[in-house]
Structure 1
Amino acid sequence: MKKLAQFTTKLICILAALGWSMSAYGQGDNKARPLGSTSSPYGYYEYLPVDYNSNSNNYPVLIYLHGLGEKGNGTTQLGDAIKHGPQREVTNGRDFPFIIVSPQTDVWWSVDKLNSYIEWLKKKYRVNADKIYLTGNSMGGISTFDYVNKYPNQLAAIVPICGENKRLSNSCNITGVKLWAFHGDADPTINVRKSIDAVNAYNACNPNPLGKLTIYPGVNHNSWTRTYDGSAGHDIYKWMLQYSRGSSRTSNQAPTVSAGSDKTITLPTNSITLSGTASDADGSIASTTWTKVSGPSASMSGASTLS
């Protein structure tokens, strides 16, 4: 009995070790990818959905950008990259239908380097390129706006938290990307006005749907924990997943133009006025031009007007 007990104890220890190994390195868990261990320009943490290795599907991707306090070397300090954000929720036992990645930078986020990383992700993983989402808090929230201002065609939706859009004048060029911003109204680090101005400028361009802004009363700079864990009652993950890149855009409709009814003249009458119409259901008419397409020589006046 003594020998059997010893054997059983050793077997349990071995299985426990195997179980830990499978949990730590299988899909459905966070896995560290230190800088230099892959060809990625960043060290990062990776999360793969639990069914990733059981099919050949392409998956949505959620990219999280950390704040200033989580900067690091991408190797020994990489754990700070998931101190906050969606992958903290993975650590707490939550599963997601996204591929989630949390890169780490040791300087302010470079949007060009970040774009290289996104292109790298498309080659590394089975990515649904129409469902790439970007979120971040503080420095990461500002950089989320920085990135979408330069590369709006890469993303389907963004969730900047306590961020700022430093290029408000560019807002109409990013309305193809869905926006939901969050901020605490008692934030002493980045004033809530920054998110208000960003969403107002975005909505002034009449996007469909309008950008959303959630302000937490009495909340200071940490408006991200309650947003990422959903404890404030908002499901940003479900919201993002409903959108694909360019999903609210419609194809351009051609303008409707008419030269009016047919006209006939008989010499010696040698002039006539033609009255046309022009309209554009999803835009405006910039200019009109009459052009003779056949027949004998004739002179036209007012060729750039409707008459």
Structure 2
Amino acid sequence: MNKLLLGVLGFTLTSLFAQAQTYNSGSFSYHGDPLPYRYLKPVIDENQKLPLVIFLHGAGERGSDNEMQLIHGSKLFSDSLSEYPALVIFPQCDKESYWPNVNIIQTETGINFQFEADLLPDSPLQLVDLMIDSLIQSGIVDTNRIYVGGLSMGGMGAYALVAANPDLFAAAFAICGGGNTEVASRYSRKTPFWIFHGALDDIVPVEYANVMNAALTDAGGNPILTIYPKANHNSWDSAFAEPELLKWLFAHNKSTTKQ
């Protein structure tokens, strides 16, 4: 195990192998750019490799307090840690930034999101990408079981991160997000997606879910689309209540699933 890399990530051997039912704090940095994160992990032995889950929060949880990103979704994983043991990481995006490279245009009818084809460079999501690489190099991650999910801005980030790494993730989910349909063919056959959205969403309209579902399907994928007829933007409440979500997510393993 690469102790230097673990130290850079804010982990230590003691913390890695100690029992933790709550989220510990850490920070990753690259060329002076910081990425605070909170992480959850089960008890493991020194030679055990863990599934890795990256969860990307929404715009309302941005900041530098390394706390806000736990508001939505963290309890889902902590309550299920014994059933689905994994290294779960909640990074935090800076207040003035956005996970992927997106042009946000306010119009008379609402907000229009234009997703750039070059999704990661100079974005906080690039730091997440580099952090994942460092974790893989450290040897603690089961590379056949890496997952990503997110809500709103984080759902957009999930699409972008998978598009930038089409061979990396075993499965992904996006809640009330959207993505670049032109790059869906990069990963549609390789990464199973579960898409959630509220039909009444007035922040990120449900059309963004519909067009991503269509793009992934047209490119040969088989995404799952769940639309909540009475939900507005906070469709994450319904998504996190789905009894099959974690079972579906962790059932995917690249070593046993034909890509």
Q: Above 0.5 in TM-score?
A: yes
- Greater relative contact order (Cα < 8 A, sep 6+): 2
Instruction: Give the CA deviation at 1:89.
Output: 3.0
Match of residue 230, structure 2, among 206, 215, 218: 218
Q: Residues 116, 246 of structure 1: CA spacing in aligned structure 2 closer, same or farther, 3 A cutoff? A: same
Q: Residues 122, 41 of structure 1: CA spacing in aligned structure 2 closer, same or farther, 3 A cutoff? A: farther
Instruction: Give the CA deviation at 1:40.
Output: 9.3
Corresponding letter in the other structure for 2:235 = S
Measure the CA separation in 1 of the matches of 2:86 and 2:192.
17
Corresponding letter in the other structure for 1:244 = N
Contact 1:60 1:131 survives alignment (8 Å) = yes
Contact 1:40 1:120 survives alignment (8 Å) = no
Q: After superposition, give the CA deviation of every residue in 1:127-151 in whole Å (9 maximum; x if it has no partner).
A: 0011110000000001111111121
Q: Residues 90, 114 of structure 1: CA spacing in aligned structure 2 closer, same or farther, 3 A cutoff? A: closer
Measure the CA separation in 2 of the matches of 1:104 and 1:127.
21
Q: Which runs of 5+ in 1 are unaligned?
A: 1-21, 251-307
Match of residue 26, structure 2, among 27, 33, 43: 33
Q: Residues 177, 94 of structure 1: CA spacing in aligned structure 2 closer, same or farther, 3 A cutoff? A: closer
**2:94 counterpart of 1:103:** no
Match of residue 52, structure 2, among 61, 77, 87: 61
- Three-state SS of the structure 2 residue aligned to 1:141 is helix
Measure the CA separation in 1 of the matches of 2:218 and 2:257.
17
Q: Residues 90, 155 of structure 1: CA spacing in aligned structure 2 closer, same or farther, 3 A cutoff? A: closer
Measure the CA separation in 2 of the matches of 1:247 and 1:171.
23
Measure the CA separation in 2 of the matches of 1:245 and 1:28.
27
Instruction: Give the CA deviation at 1:97.
Output: 1.5
Measure the CA separation in 2 of the matches of 1:40 and 1:185.
38
- Three-state SS of the structure 2 residue aligned to 1:142 is helix
Corresponding letter in the other structure for 2:52 = V
- Three-state SS of the structure 1 residue aligned to 2:21 is coil
Larger of the two Rg values belongs to structure: 1
Measure the CA separation in 2 of the matches of 1:216 and 1:178.
20
Corresponding letter in the other structure for 1:235 = E
Match of residue 151, structure 1, among 151, 156, 165: 165
- Three-state SS of the structure 1 residue aligned to 2:193 is strand
Contact 1:66 1:84 survives alignment (8 Å) = yes
Measure the CA separation in 2 of the matches of 1:101 and 1:125.
16
Q: After superposition, give the CA deviation of every residue in 1:264-287 in whole Å (9 maximum; x if it has no partner).
A: xxxxxxxxxxxxxxxxxxxxxxxx
Task: Tell me the equivalent position of 1:173.
Answer: 186
**2:151 counterpart of 1:161:** no
> TM-score, normalised to structure 1's length?
0.64
RMSD, aligned CA: 2.3
State the percentage of identical aligned residues: 26
Question: By percentage of residues, which structure has more strand?
Answer: 2
Task: Tell me the equivalent position of 2:40.
Answer: 47
Measure the CA separation in 2 of the matches of 1:147 and 1:211.
17
- Three-state SS of the structure 2 residue aligned to 1:28 is strand
Task: Tell me the equivalent position of 1:235.
Answer: 244
Instruction: Give the CA deviation at 1:63.
Output: 0.5
Contact 1:153 1:245 survives alignment (8 Å) = no
Corresponding letter in the other structure for 2:67 = G
Q: After superposition, give the CA deviation of every residue in 1:50-90 in whole Å (9 maximum; x if it has no partner).
A: x32x45221111110011011111xxx111011112x2335
Q: Residues 40, 26 of structure 1: CA spacing in aligned structure 2 closer, same or farther, 3 A cutoff? A: farther
**2:58 counterpart of 1:70:** no
Q: Residues 89, 241 of structure 1: CA spacing in aligned structure 2 closer, same or farther, 3 A cutoff? A: closer
Measure the CA separation in 2 of the matches of 1:202 and 1:193.
14
The alignment of Structure 1 onto Structure 2 pairs a total of residues equal to 212
Instruction: Give the CA deviation at 1:98.
Output: 1.4
Task: Tell me the equivalent position of 1:89.
Answer: 76
Instruction: Give the CA deviation at 1:244.
Output: 2.1
Measure the CA separation in 1 of the matches of 2:142 and 2:69.
24
